[in-house]
Amino acid sequence: MRILIASVALCFAALFTGTQADAAASGKFFDHASKKWVSYGSVHHGKSPIKRKQVRYNGSYGPNTIVISTKDRRLYHIRGNGTAMVYGVGVGRQGFQWSGTHRITRKAEWPSWTPPKVMIDRERRKGRNLPSFMKGGPNNPLGARAMYIGSTIYRIHGSNEPWTIGSAVSSGCIRMANEDVIHLYDNVNVGTKVIVLR
């Protein structure tokens, strides 16, 4: 009986994983807000399933501030003209969410990736060996741009998995589709305040 239950569970897990992969490959994404599968084009174009938009803003955060709502999976870039640009983001999965106020301390185009030691050790325990270093480029998990947050190990960065935008999937970093991270990167400077809310 236990073997049968385990087999059914494995088949279901494989089916679910296959369904997600098939949906991603066909340009579909599960939108958590609407609880529906939505189309967003080819994954190779790096477009976000959540289209960025400019909205009116009269809140308490000052101009040139980045506010990230991990609950809503949105990043707000507050501008000085009574507006904010809103982007969809991927956030930390269960157990990897955090909050705080920092500043952007560094910006990089097509950044290289040096996984933190804690991540390397954690993945090794799962039987997955991460590289200690990966050169920047289209296959790099940090995508087209990265903005480093304070002295933390976290970044706002691009992704070569745009279908994950809108999900809680990362190890704490804030993921954006490459198209969106380039747009944000071009509009913020080192020293920009970053506020992460849970």
Catalytic machinery residues: 157, 173
What backbone phi and psi angles, to 5 degrees, belong to 90? -100, 145
What secondary structure does DSSP assign to 139-189, as a single string?
TSTTTTEEEEETTSS-EEE--S-GGGTTSEEESS-EE--HHHHHHHHTT--
128-146 CB burial, b ≥16 within 10 A, e <16: eebeeebebeeebbbbbbb
Where does the chain show beta strands of DSSP type E? Answer: 28-31, 36-39, 53-56, 65-69, 74-78, 83-88, 91-92, 100-109, 145-149, 155-157, 168-170, 174-175, 193-197
